[in-house]
Amino acid sequence: MMMKNDQVIHGQLPSAPPAAAGNCLEFSTADLPAKDCLPYWCDVWGRYILGVEVDAPLTGEPFFFNAKVTRFPGLMMLHTRPAGHAMKHTRSAGHTMKRTRSLLNDGNGDILLSLNSRPWKGLQLGREVDLMPGDATFISCADVGTAQSVKCGAEIMMMRIPQEWIKRAVPDIEDRVARRIDRNNPALCLLKNYAVTWEQNILTATPALQETFVSHVHDLLVLIAGASGDAAHMAARRGGRAALLALIRREIEKGAAEIDFCLPMLASRLGMSPRKVQMLLEETGSSFVKEVTERRLQRAQQLLQSVRYRHLSIIEIAYECGFGSAAHFHRLFRRYCDTTPADWRHQQTTADGG
């Protein structure tokens, strides 16, 4: 089954990969007969999306794949996720992908950054690279090469950009191809978080925001490639800073419900100084206290109007959302919502017919 812009297409491929800004292609083997899953994956993900030949022998083990391709001018994002082990489809124990000389005629000369959740090996430009789970490497779509994975079903994230774009900042990008990038590389970690943070919302963002997102991804790829001088400085100030802010806000989202959550705790989790975290937030006109308070109050609104939490008292909801004082919660809620928590709950219950 293939989905293109929320339309389901059975048994066929669209005439061309997604080309317009914000265009998304999703496909899955979930509704296919077991015998068709692997051939479909080899054909669609291998030949059609990546432009490679795939050799993946059947073993009779469960197999399921779910992939998403999003394309903007200057950037294609590819993401596959493994499914539960209980899926009934067949799977290969491993596979080999080859970018052959004949396939180079497709005119794709992009540079691709590939991250895989399982070990794999690559060979390109006379270099062999062994990657552990979470590591990454650059791949040149303009050159023949081979990638070998020990086992299918891994989560794979790829970022593909025109080679001439990254060459502006990293002229010798070919020398970065087929070289191991450690999974703990700071820029790589920022890119993974930034992509995941935006993945669900970027298609509905404004064209200007989409363009900014693409620019920031380019900056992070430049940093991952080891750019130096002015190119590295500019990339760090633009994409690097934006990705850091996204990471900070994601950690705030995760920790806001903890009553003892504080700036030093957040900074420790991020491996940054409290001053650095606060400075980055202040540059956007915000602060740690403001960010945490807003998330706690938004969570309180959700719980107060939820039937599932109707058995909780307002004080219990305050604690559930990270507030250590009922009086403090009431004061902030009234300022934020222009009503009391009790009145908010009553209004929402009435509106829902409860």
Is a pLDDT exceeding 60 seen at residue 10? Answer: no
What is the per-residue pLDDT across 307-330, written as a single tens digit (0 to 9) for each?
899 999 999 999 999 999 999 999
Structure tokens at 251: 């950690």
- Taking only the tens place, the pLDDT of each residue in 151-209 is 666 788 999 999 999 999 999 999 999 999 999 999 999 999 999 888 878 888 888 99
Model-wide pTM > 0.75: yes
Please, what are the domains in the chain?
A: 2-183 (no CATH), 263-351 (1.10.10.60)
Nearest to 160 by CA among 48, 218, 76, 224: 76
Instruction: Report the SS3 class of residue 305.
Output: coil
Cβ contact 176:225 at 8 Å = yes
Which tokens hold the place of 351?
């509106």
Residue 207 burial (CB < 10 Å; 0-12/13-18/19+)? exposed
Q: What is the mean pLDDT of residues 120-148?
A: 95
Handedness of CA 228, 230, 235, 240 (dihedral sign): positive
* Residue 173 token pair: 């990008």
